[in-house]
Amino acid sequence: MNTAELLVSCLENEGVRYVFGLPGEENLEVLRALSNSSIQFITTRHEQGAAFMADVYGRLTGKAGVCLSTLGPGATNLMTGVADANLDGAPLVAITGQVGTDRMHIESHQYLDLVAMFSPVTKWNAQIVRPSITPEIVRKAFKRSQTEKPGAVHIDVPENIAAMPAVGHPLTIDKQEKSYASYQGLNEAAAAISRATNPLILVGNGAIRAHAAAALTEFATRLQIPVANTFMGKGVIPYTHPLSLWTAGLQQRDYISCAFDHTDLVIAVGYDLIEYSPKKWNPEGKVPIIHIGAAQAEIDSSYIPIVEVVGDISDSLMEILHRCDRHGKPQPHACELRNDIRADYEQYADDSEYPIKPQKLIYDLRQVMAPEDILISDVGAHKMWIARHYHCERPNTCLISNGFAAMGIAIPGAIAAKLVYPDRKVIAATGDGGFMMNCQELETALRVGTAFVTVIFNDCGYGLIEWKQHNHYGESAFVKFGNPDFVKLAESMGLKGYRVESTADLVPTLKEALEQDVPAVIDCPVDYRENIKFTQKAGGLTCSI
């Protein structure tokens, strides 16, 4: 047995099912070991796609997704997806090939100090410098990656070390015991909630990672406290629940801003500051905050909790609930606010204008997707509309890159989602800019048998940047481009291609595309004049409550 074989044996021990990546000269031994293992290696068309697949796999399963590249340019290509996983709290293990240790002291072909390079975008990383330390490095990598707050780690494997004889075996996986909040924290939180006149729950992705949806919904229901979710907290409480105020997180005022204006206590549950800066909803730092999470609160002048409840989130919520002396209904304005939010959403149900308004496109997407189906959002103007208008009944059914906000994630992410949940419908929602960044992975999707639908919000430009430019300067520059014929492009790859020619065509086209046994691409012209209209509307928004 050599080091590469011991490495792969350790990956098997960690329960790894897939490794996403590209073959290269300096990872030959690892690839050979993988070919003789129970792990399926999925050859991608770009290392960034491989990292995004591992990223979304980790976010959906809670188990580290694994990606592999060679050294030099392969490793630098991998970095965007690694950084995305790290900032979005998705467990990921990146493995890179490397020159032999006998070449690191001199200028060498394609050599970069990858440990130094990956250090800023990972929780931990290391190089295997002796065969015997391989089991310890792999076990530590997975433990660090999957421990709250999850994130990315990196293992660098020099080619001469990979080929060396190795003696060893995988280490036993230690079980992570739950930690529980202190009685003092629980009692103080319960007292503060009991005193509050108009509390508001802000729930984030940490509640999804902790599988706390049921506990959060019961907590909110029994205490009659309205709930807003971040972009990454969708579905923790069903959007149809009468206390759900849907999504917070836009960088400008919206209906939900009124809830923050009038609250006298924010209960932040599984909330990470990177999901929605507290400076947006608590700019003066005057709103009292209770922090409920698996880890202590980050430091921010706008986020100084009066109580921190640190431990298992579900247990904390139930213990606080049992200690609370709170009766009655939420303030009437919370119900009025929900009615306003729903009315704004429903007004696009029968909209027939073409090109399609983004609100209508997303409304129809929601109608054709079942509660358990999954939408992966790319980054661009459409992401803002998906965050605002695509609502979820269940956790992890709308995935949005928000911490790093990396374009190009949707198609690779959809492949991972379909591998994890082959019986669910999956949609990759992307702008034309994001589509062209990783559309090559549609060949990967076809090859590995992951049939999902890619919906392109087509405006022949970088719509989000144009939106920002108009907001700042009243005009735009350098944001327009041409596109290929997306239908012909899809067909040339052996996929199904569709073009939406009228708003009435959208739902039938979506339904047909979702029934295909190969990946499908829908080119949908979108009317992004709605971006500026929304900015103008938000600028004049007043809270009537």
pLDDT in tens, 81-107: 999 999 999 999 999 999 998 888 878
Distance separating alpha carbons of residues 347 and 252, to the nearest angstrom: 21
How high is the pLDDT of residue 537?
Answer: 81
How high is the pLDDT of residue 195?
Answer: 94
Domain boundaries, the chain: 3-163, 183-338, 347-537
How high is the pLDDT of residue 364?
Answer: 98
Alpha helices in 485-527 (DSSP H): 486-492, 506-514
Domains 3-163 and 347-537 share a fold: yes
Q: Are 125 and 156 in contact (CB under 8 A)?
A: yes
How do residues 339-356 score in pLDDT, each as one tens digit?
999 999 999 999 999 999
Overall CATH class of domain 3-163: alpha beta
Of 101-115, 228-242, 326-340, 347-361, the range with the lowest mean pLDDT is: 326-340
Q: Is the pLDDT of residue 316 over 80?
A: yes
Burial of 32 (0-12, 13-18, 19+ CB in 10 A): middle
At 393, the amino acid letter reads: E
Q: Give phi and psi for 93, each to the nearest 5.
A: -120, 115
How high is the pLDDT of residue 103?
Answer: 84
145-163 average pLDDT score: 97
Distance separating alpha carbons of residues 48 and 53, to the nearest angstrom: 9
Q: Among candidates 140, 169, 175, 6, which has minimal Cα distance to 64?
A: 140
Burial of 350 (0-12, 13-18, 19+ CB in 10 A): exposed
Burial of 116 (0-12, 13-18, 19+ CB in 10 A): exposed
| Phi-psi label, residue 311: left if phi above 0, alpha if psi -120 to 50, beta otherwise | left
253-274 average pLDDT score: 94
Distance separating alpha carbons of residues 97 and 28, to the nearest angstrom: 9
Tokens, residue 275: 């999901």
Tell me, rounded to whole angstroms, the distance of Cα 277 from its chain centroid.
17
Q: Model confidence at 535, in pLDDT bands (50, 70, 90)?
A: confident
Q: Is the pLDDT of residue 545 over 60?
A: no
How high is the pLDDT of residue 328?
Answer: 65
Strands 496-499 and 520-525: parallel
How high is the pLDDT of residue 252?
Answer: 81
Strands 289-293 and 307-310: parallel
> Topology of domain 183-338, per CATH?
Rossmann fold (3.40.50)
Q: Which CATH superfamily is domain 347-537 in?
A: Thiamin diphosphate (ThDP)-binding fold, Pyr/PP domains (3.40.50.970)
118-145 average pLDDT score: 98
Q: Is the pLDDT of residue 541 over 70?
A: no
Tokens, residue 371: 């509660």
Of 11-25, 208-222, 249-263, the range with the lowest mean pLDDT is: 249-263
Work out the angle between the directed axes of helices 381-389 and 358-368 (0-180°, nearest 10): 50
Element (H, E) at 523: strand 520-525
Edge-to-edge order in the sheet of strand 289-293: 244-247, 227-229, 199-203, 265-269, 289-293, 307-310
How high is the pLDDT of residue 542?
Answer: 63
Non-local CB neighbours of 199 within 8 Å, separated by 6+ positions:
193, 225, 263, 264, 265, 266, 267
Q: Is the pLDDT of residue 111 over 90?
A: no
Non-local CB neighbours of 197 within 8 Å, separated by 6+ positions:
264, 331
Matching residue, tokens 């800066």? 277
How high is the pLDDT of residue 68?
Answer: 98
Burial of 538 (0-12, 13-18, 19+ CB in 10 A): middle
194-216 average pLDDT score: 97
Non-local CB neighbours of 222 within 8 Å, separated by 6+ positions:
321
Taking the CA atoms of residue 414, residue 418, residue 420 and residue 421 in that order, the dihedral angle to the nearest 10 degrees is 130
In percent, the amount of the chain with pLDDT more than 90 equals: 91
Q: Among candidates 142, 131, 124, 143, which has minimal Cα distance to 169?
A: 131
397-422 average pLDDT score: 97
How do residues 8-55 score in pLDDT, each as one tens digit?
999 999 999 999 999 999 999 999 999 999 999 999 999 999 999 999
Alpha helices in 369-525 (DSSP H): 381-389, 410-420, 432-438, 441-448, 463-473, 486-492, 506-514
How do residues 366-383 score in pLDDT, each as one tens digit?
999 999 999 999 999 999
Q: Kindly list the distances between the CA atom of residue 20 and the CA atoms of 9, 31, 50, 115, in Å, as whole numbers in the listed order.
A: 17, 11, 5, 20
